[in-house]
Structure 1
Amino acid sequence: MIERRTEPRMLCADLVDVRWKDKANRARRAVANLEDISLSGACIQLDMQVPLGTLVRISYPKGEFAGIVRYCQFREIGYFVGIQFEAGCKWSRTSFRPLHLLDPRSISKKPASRSKAGPFSAPT
């Protein structure tokens, strides 16, 4: 998948309540796993497919995010749904901090140093 976000994506894990209306205009609700979040969007994992262009609301203890489904892909264990937040709806750590949150930029990109003889090398 092509990365289209212009701001950093934070990896996270937390359960959130998600609501939307299906094509028949019936209210739908599910508990989803929040996979990642950025200022302007999020990715959630659901048991069911949500059509592109659907307006969804993600509730958290002190509020909610509203946005549009931009992608919905099945990957082995469920549907990963990408949501672009509506204009004026931005995420911040002060408004909502997921239970587990990791900034991938904080992980060092330097390879671990190894001795000349690797761990599986025969002694010389």
Structure 2
Amino acid sequence: MTKHKIYSMSFASVYPHYVAKAEKKGRTKEEVDEIIRWHTGLSQAQLEEHLEEKTDFETFFEEAPALHPSRKLIKGVVCGVRVEDIEEPIMQEIRYLDKMVDELAKGKAMEKILRG
């Protein structure tokens, strides 16, 4: 089976789109970073290192030190697909992140986005 092309895309190439989407709706880069850190267990320094090194999505999630167990509570549709039904683990992680950034941009409280 061939891998989806997003797996080889650098996380750094998509990150500015996450930030722009949030900022367009009055949210902040810091909130986007908080979501990413919560999801992956990365520190801010580690996140910045991945951005600087242009780590691809597959490696970014494979090397995440501690994927948050509550991420499995994320439900809903992203790009016409229910995130909880995605079978490919890396794609599901990417879509979890997409969904959380969508929720941020829609004005949802950070506590709810982080499944607190």
TM bin (shorter chain): under 0.3
Indicate the structure (1 or 2) with the bigger Cα radius of gyration. Answer: 1
More helix by share: 2
Q: TM-score, normalised on structure 2?
A: 0.28
Higher relative contact order (Cα pairs below 8 Å, separated by 6+ residues):
2
Q: TM-score, normalised on structure 1?
A: 0.27
